[in-house]
Amino acid sequence: MKQVFDIKTSSRNQLIDITPTVEEFVKLSEVESGICVIYTPHTTTAITINENADPSVKADIIRKLADIFPHEDNYQHLEGNADAHLKSSAIGCSETVVIADGSLILGTWQGIMFCEFDGPRQRRFIIKIFNG
Ligand code: ZN
């Protein structure tokens, strides 16, 4: 079972909690045991799992990534978004979560985040569920 989801981002750098969407899709799939892959098909976005309870964690991730990958840095890529490509590769474009008893196994504070690094834009992510 696979589905493409549209997401509209509102800033250049943004982490959006997509856990409720993923959980709802898992319920709809009626898969009791398996694996859920969350993937983003863009070169300047990413998917990560981290704390969703305290919003300052998202802000710290964005700030520290900006320290590591500054917007201007004599990059060879001339589109003006080299930092966004680097952030995307550092974080990664997918996450995998185990499904047990019909639900995602996530820790109490864990949430699945869509990461925008070159917004605002219309974006997509894909959820694919494997039964097994
Ligand atoms: Zn580019």
> Residue 74, Cβ neighbours under 10 Å: how many?
5
pLDDT for residue 15: 98
pLDDT for residue 47: 98
Token pair recorded at residue 39 = 């993937």
Q: How far is the CA of 79 from the centre of ligand 1 (A)?
A: 5
Q: How far is the CA of 100 from the centre of ligand 1 (A)?
A: 39
The fraction of the chain above a pLDDT of 90, given in percent, is: 97
Q: What is the pTM of this model?
A: 0.96
Q: How far is the CA of 4 from the centre of ligand 1 (A)?
A: 23
pLDDT tens track of the chain, all 132 residues? 789 999 999 999 999 999 999 999 999 999 999 999 999 999 999 999 999 889 999 999 999 999 999 999 999 999 999 999 999 999 999 999 999 999 999 999 999 999 999 999 999 999 999 999
Which residue is it, tokens 């300052």? Answer: 56
pLDDT for residue 107: 96
pLDDT for residue 2: 80
pLDDT for residue 97: 98
Q: How far is the CA of 71 from the centre of ligand 1 (A)?
A: 12
Q: How far is the CA of 80 from the centre of ligand 1 (A)?
A: 7
Q: How far is the CA of 13 from the centre of ligand 1 (A)?
A: 15
Q: How far is the CA of 44 from the centre of ligand 1 (A)?
A: 8
CATH domain 2-131 topology: Jelly Rolls (2.60.120)
110 has which bridge partners?
51
